[in-house]
Structures are given as C-alpha cells and as structure tokens.
C-alpha cells in the first residue's frame, strides 16, 4: 500500500473507505459509514456514499479499511521527552519522577539539549500521523527564558507539518508568588502561549487557582492546569479552579488535566466537582497511560505491590455531564512515564482499554473525537481534525475495518496522508540521542 502511486500526487479518490460519522462532524454519532473520499489539490473535495458516483482520475481502493483524521495530542511534555536513559525514575512514583526531572533539568536543560529531544519527539508524532500538539513547558524561573525561546523557534520550524501550542507548567508555590507568577505569565504572553501550572494536594490550593485565573484574565490568556494528580482525597484543585473561574467571571478557555483524585473521593464530592467544572466550561483531559503507570505505586513502606487503583479520572461521567473531554499521550520516555511514542493510535487503543469507553460498541467510534476534533476545537487549533469538504486531506489510512481490528494491533502498516500525499512513516532511531545520554 505504501508504494501506491495514486497516493503521491495530492489528488486521489479513496474508494470503499469506512469513516466514523463522528469524524465527519456528527457529534455523538458512533456509526461507521462507507464512503468515497475525493481529494483534490491536497484538500477534501467531497465525501459520498461508496459507489454512488463515478470516480474520475486516480483512485485508491481502501477495501473497507478505516480512514481517520490526523490526530490531535492535546497534552504532552516535549521538553522532558527521551531523558529516561540518563535519568530514570528510581521507584516509579510521582514524587520520584518530580525529583528526577528537577535534577536533570537543573544540570542539562540547555537550549541545545531540549532542541534535539523536542525535534526527535515531533518526528515520531509526525510519522505516526499527528497534525497538532499542545506541549507543557517547565517554566519555573529561570528555565522559562530558555524553553519558551526555543519553543518559538520550533513552532516556526514545524509550522507546515505540526501545529504547535505551548503551556507553562510551574509548581503551586510559584502560583501564589506574585512576582514569579507575573514573570512566567508575561513570558507566556510574549510567546503566544497558554498559562498553566500544577496543583494537587496543597494547603493553599484555592488561593493558587484564584491567582492564576486572575492573572490569565489580566493578560488575556487561556488556561491549562494540571489538577489533582494524586490519590490524596484531601485534594480539591479542580473544584477550586472551577470556583475561581465562576467567581471571577473569567471568559477564556480552560482545560484541566489528570483529575485523578476523583477516583478516591465520595460520591457527593465527585458530583459537586463535576457539576462545577461543567458549569465553568472546563475541558477535561485524561492521560490514561501515564496515570496508570504512576498512580497507586506507594503504600507507605516501599514494598512492591500490584496497584489497586487505575488513577484515571472519571472521563465517562464528565462526558455524560456535557464536558468537552480528551485523551492524550502526556510524557514519553522520561521519569513520569518510561514508555510511549506520541502515537495517537496507542493513545486511543489504551484509552479504550483503561477507561472502558469501548461499550456500548455502537457508540465507541464517537471517542475518536477525543484524539481529534474535540480538543482541536476547544484549543482553537487551525487544524480541525474532521473529514469534510474543504478540510485538508490530513488523514490516516488503515487496513483495519472495525473497532476491534483497529485496537487489536499497533497498526504499523498505516498510511499517513498530509495534504493528500503519503509521507515517509519511518521512525527516528533512538541512537540519534545517545550522545545526550552519556
């Protein structure tokens, strides 16, 4: 399939394809439809029921194979990626990851180091079929000056391949420090980014959320926060974020990632938090692979044991309540997650298994939006991740025909089209980074 000449010109009809109705803009529709997709000069010209009209020009028979929009990875950490060979997590815990990354950052995160790892990550994502990425950048001063300047360069360098957004990530102590928060926020503003931070079990959580919301409102910035990445039931960062948005009348876009603590809180707290988050218009991002890796490793005495809790937030409940929901890669080969490759197929496949959004089966395809059009619309990407006339023909083509066939294998024989042309899907070799790991 990869050598098909018809897929090299940017003008072709994909015959006998199967497409989720949700990918064609019909929200809440989990049906699969048999269509012919006409591509002209790199854009989708028409989608028609299979065989309903004669096909003119070059064509490619999909043989009932699936076609999905290129992926949107809404929560990543490209500045941390690939450091595992030189800085492992000593015990697999969240705190172990935090301390390991801090040590690596303080010693080695010069612009030249981040640039090579960042570029490596983007080449992986591009080869897998991703068209838009939001990355969080460690931004505690003075790192903010290095990382944001580099991000601006990478955003320009990759503009015709992957659309990039960036979010600041700082600890809660920075959020309640007016001078430090202002310095970070003004750097974010100057770089065209999104303001963010991380708050879990923190005794000044409500104050931290109020301060970051107020600062975002002052500077006209959108927000994206790490909230409640903990199994301590005393954590209420998401609730405090929602309350801050409602109390201040903040009008920007708000996204919250992780929200793990809801899995260990009582039903009344859960319902209050979900309702407030929906009222505040907060989009929720689950990071299933990273959270299942980190959460519930600790039992207080250092023993190795099987985890009891998955750590992933209540995504089905948020979706049912009306929230915009998404899933994403999060970390890749760093102390927060030892694995991963920025592959939207892996995120979708593992998300289905971990989060149980595979039933009812006839609605499972609606979750394709969680790695595509749902986060794309909320984040304001130019790339919309839809299969509609006028949209760019940025598509991923599979031999798999059904949900179970798609999720049963890694789909390494996929074809990735960008502007209607098949790209080289060869992945970069880890050996490229060996000298950075010495």
Active site residues: 229
284 strand-pairing partners: 256, 325
Query: What is the Cβ-side half-sphere exposure of residue 169, based on CA atoms within 13 angstroms?
Result: 21
Paired tokens of 220: 């006209």
18 closest CA partner among 51, 65, 50: 65
- What helix, strand, coil percent values describe the chain, rounded to 5? 40, 20, 40
Identify whether the C-beta of residue 207 lies closer than 8 Å to the C-beta of residue 176.
yes
Query: What is the Cβ-side half-sphere exposure of residue 344, based on CA atoms within 13 angstroms?
Result: 31
- Strand ranges of the sheet holding 130-138, from the earlier edge strand across to the other edge: 71-76, 130-138, 163-169
Paired tokens of 340: 């991963």
Beta strands 415-418; 421-422: pairing state = antiparallel
Q: Could you tell me which residues come within 8 angstroms of residue 105 by beta carbon, excluding any fewer than 6 positions away?
A: 138, 143
333: left (phi over 0), alpha (psi -120 to 50) or beta: left
Paired tokens of 433: 């980074």
Rounded to whole angstroms, how far apart are CA atoms 274 and 256?
12
> Can you spell out the DSSP letters for 67-129?
EEEPEEEEEE-TTTTT-TTTS--SSSSHHHHHHHHHHHHHHH--HHHHHHHHHHHHHHHHHHT
Rounded to whole angstroms, how far apart are CA atoms 199 and 244?
14
Stated as kind and residue range, the H or E segment containing 16 is strand 12-20
Rounded to whole angstroms, how far apart are CA atoms 81 and 85?
11
E strands, 200-310, are 223-227, 254-258, 282-286
């Amino acid at each position: 399939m990869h050598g098909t000449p018809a897929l090299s010109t940017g003008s072709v009809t994909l015959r006998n394809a199967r497409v989720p109705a949700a990918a064609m803009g019909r929200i809440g529709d989990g049906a699969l439809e048999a269509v012919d997709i006409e591509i002209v000069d790199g854009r989708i010209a028409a989608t028609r029921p299979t065989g309903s009209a004669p096909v003119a020009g070059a064509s490619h028979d999909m043989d009932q194979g699936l076609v999905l929009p290129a992926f949107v990875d809404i929560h990543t950490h490209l500045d941390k990626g690939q450091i595992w060979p030189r800085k492992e997590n000593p015990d697999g815990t969240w705190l172990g990851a935090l301390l390991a990354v801090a040590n690596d950052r303080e010693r080695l995160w010069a612009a030249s180091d981040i640039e090579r790892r960042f570029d490596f990550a983007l080449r992986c994502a591009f080869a897998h079929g991703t068209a838009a990425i939001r990355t969080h950048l460690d931004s505690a001063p003075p790192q903010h000056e290095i990382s944001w300047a580099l991000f601006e360069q990478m955003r320009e360098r990759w503009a015709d391949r992957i659309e990039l957004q960036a979010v600041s990530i700082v600890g809660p102590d920075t959020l309640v420090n007016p001078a430090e928060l202002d310095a970070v926020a003004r750097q974010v503003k100057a770089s065209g980014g999104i303001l963010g931070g991380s708050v879990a079990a923190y005794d000044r959580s409500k104050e931290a959320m109020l301060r970051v919301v107020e600062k975002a409102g002052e500077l006209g910035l959108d927000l994206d926060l790490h909230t409640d990445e903990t199994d301590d039931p005393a954590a209420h960062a998401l609730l405090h974020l929602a309350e801050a948005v409602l109390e201040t009348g903040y009008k920007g876009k708000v996204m919250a990632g992780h929200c793990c603590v809801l899995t260990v809180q009582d039903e009344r707290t859960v319902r209050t938090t979900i309702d407030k988050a929906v009222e505040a218009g907060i989009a929720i991002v689950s990071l299933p692979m990273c959270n299942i890796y980190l959460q519930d490793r600790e039992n207080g005495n250092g023993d190795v044991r099987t985890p009891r809790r998955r750590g992933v937030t209540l995504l089905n409940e948020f979706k049912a309540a009306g929230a915009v929901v998404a899933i994403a890669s999060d970390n890749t080969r760093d102390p927060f997650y030892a694995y991963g490759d920025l592959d939207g197929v892996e995120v979708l496949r593992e998300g289905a298994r971990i989060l149980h959004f595979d039933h009812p089966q006839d609605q499972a395809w609606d979750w394709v939006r969680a790695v595509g059009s749902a986060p794309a619309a909320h984040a304001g990407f130019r790339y919309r991740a839809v299969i509609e006339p006028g949209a760019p023909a940025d598509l991923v083509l599979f031999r798999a025909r059904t949900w179970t066939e798609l999720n049963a294998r890694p789909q390494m024989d996929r074809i990735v089209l960008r502007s209607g042309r098949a790209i080289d899907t060869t992945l970069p070799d880890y050996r490229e980074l060996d000298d950075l790991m010495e």
